[in-house]
C-alpha cells in the first residue's frame, strides 16, 4: 500500500510539473509575441519619441516575461534585433539592445540573467555610462556604469581556476564611425559583474586605445566592415588591421581595413597581442 501511494504521489507530482511547464511555455510564447512588436518599433519607428516609448514598454515587458519560471531556458528567438547570448558554460545569458536617438547618438540597454536551480529570476540590469566619460577604456566598471554595446559573442577562458568571459560587442557610435568592443567580464565574491581589467598586452600605437587599457576597441569609418571576432579553429581573437584612407590616422572616420589581420591569444590570464595572424 505504501509503495502504491508513493508511486501515485510521484505520478501526480510529475503531471503537475508537466502542466506547469506547459503553462509557462504558453505564457512565454505570448510574452515573446508582445516583445517582438516592441523590439521592431525600437529599431524601425520613424520618430525618436516612438522609439523611446517602445523601448520603455519593451523593458517592462521583458522583465515581466523573465519572471515566468524557468524563462532562462527560453530563447526568444523571434527577437531578431535583440542580442541574447548564453555564456559557453550556460551559467548566465546577457541580453542587449540599442536605441537610436538620431543618426549621431545611440544608447545601449541590457541585463544579465543568471541560471537558477529553482527557475526563479535573478537579473542584473546594465546601465550605459558611456555619456559620462571621455575615456571609456580607462577603468574597471560595474553594471551601474557599463560601457554599452550590442554583444555578438562570448569567449570563455580560465586561469588559476577562475573563469573569464570575453565579450565582443558592436557599437554604432555616431554618424561617422562604428566601434567594436572587446572586454573581459568576471564576477566578484558576491556574484556581481565586473567589466574590464588589465587583461590586454599590446604596444601603444596611434590607432589602438592607449595603454593602460581596461577594454579594447577598434573604431573605424562608418561604411567599413572591420572584423573583430573569435576564431575557435585557431583559438584566437582576430581583428582587422586599420589604415587611414587619407594618411590622417588620428581621424577615426578615415580608418578602413588594410587587408591583413592582427590578433590576441590567451596566455596566463591575459590577451597577448599578435602583430599578424599568418595565412588567415
> pLDDT tens digits for 141-150?
999 999 999 9
For residue 66, count other CB atoms closer than 10 A to its CB: 19
For residues 182 and 264, what is the distance between their CA atoms, to the nearest angstrom?
11
The domain locations on the chain are: 128-280
Nearest CA to 215 among 112, 146, 124, 144? 146
Q: Are 222 and 256 in contact (CB under 8 A)?
A: no
State mean pLDDT over 5-23: 47
* CA 275/CA 261 separation, integer angstroms: 8
| Digit-coded pLDDT (tens) for 176-228 | 999 999 999 999 999 999 999 999 999 999 999 999 999 999 999 999 999 99
Overall average pLDDT of the 32-60 stretch: 96
pLDDT higher than 80, residue 2? no
- Inform me whether the pLDDT recorded for 13 exceeds 70: no
Residue 14 has pLDDT above 80, yes or no: no
Least confident piece of the model among 9-18, 74-83, 92-101, 104-113: 9-18
Instruction: Give which of 184, 210, 188, 181 is closest to 197, Cα–Cα.
Output: 184
Amino acid at each position: 500500500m505504501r509503495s502504491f501511494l508513493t508511486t501515485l504521489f510521484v505520478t501526480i507530482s510529475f503531471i503537475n510539473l508537466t502542466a506547469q511547464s506547459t503553462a509557462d511555455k504558453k505564457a512565454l510564447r505570448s510574452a515573446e509575441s508582445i516583445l517582438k512588436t516592441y523590439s521592431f518599433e525600437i529599431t524601425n519607428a520613424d520618430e525618436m519619441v516612438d522609439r523611446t516609448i517602445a523601448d520603455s514598454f519593451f523593458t517592462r515587458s521583458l522583465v515581466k516575461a523573465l519572471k515566468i519560471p524557468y524563462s532562462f531556458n527560453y530563447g526568444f528567438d523571434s527577437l531578431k534585433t535583440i542580442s541574447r547570448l548564453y555564456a559557453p558554460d550556460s551559467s548566465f545569458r546577457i541580453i542587449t539592445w540599442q536605441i537610436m536617438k538620431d543618426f549621431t547618438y545611440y544608447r545601449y540597454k541590457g541585463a544579465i540573467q543568471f541560471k537558477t536551480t529553482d527557475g526563479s529570476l535573478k537579473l542584473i540590469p546594465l546601465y550605459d555610462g558611456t555619456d559620462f566619460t571621455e575615456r571609456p577604456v580607462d577603468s574597471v566598471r560595474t553594471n551601474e556604469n557599463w560601457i554599452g554595446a550590442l554583444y555578438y559573442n562570448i569567449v570563455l577562458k580560465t586561469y588559476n581556476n577562475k573563469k573569464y568571459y570575453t565579450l565582443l560587442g558592436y557599437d554604432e557610435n555616431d554618424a561617422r564611425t562604428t566601434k567594436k568592443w572587446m572586454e573581459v567580464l568576471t564576477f566578484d565574491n558576491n556574484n556581481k559583474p565586473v567589466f574590464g581589467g588589465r587583461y590586454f598586452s599590446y604596444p601603444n600605437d596611434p590607432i589602438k586605445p592607449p595603454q593602460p587599457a581596461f577594454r579594447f576597441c577598434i573604431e573605424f569609418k562608418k561604411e567599413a566592415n572591420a572584423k573583430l571576432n573569435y576564431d575557435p579553429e585557431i583559438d584566437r581573437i582576430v581583428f582587422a588591421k586599420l589604415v587611414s584612407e587619407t594618411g590622417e590616422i588620428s581621424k577615426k572616420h578615415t580608418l578602413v581595413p588594410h587587408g591583413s589581420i592582427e590578433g590576441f591569444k590567451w596566455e596566463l590570464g591575459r590577451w597577448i597581442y599578435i602583430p599578424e595572424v599568418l595565412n588567415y
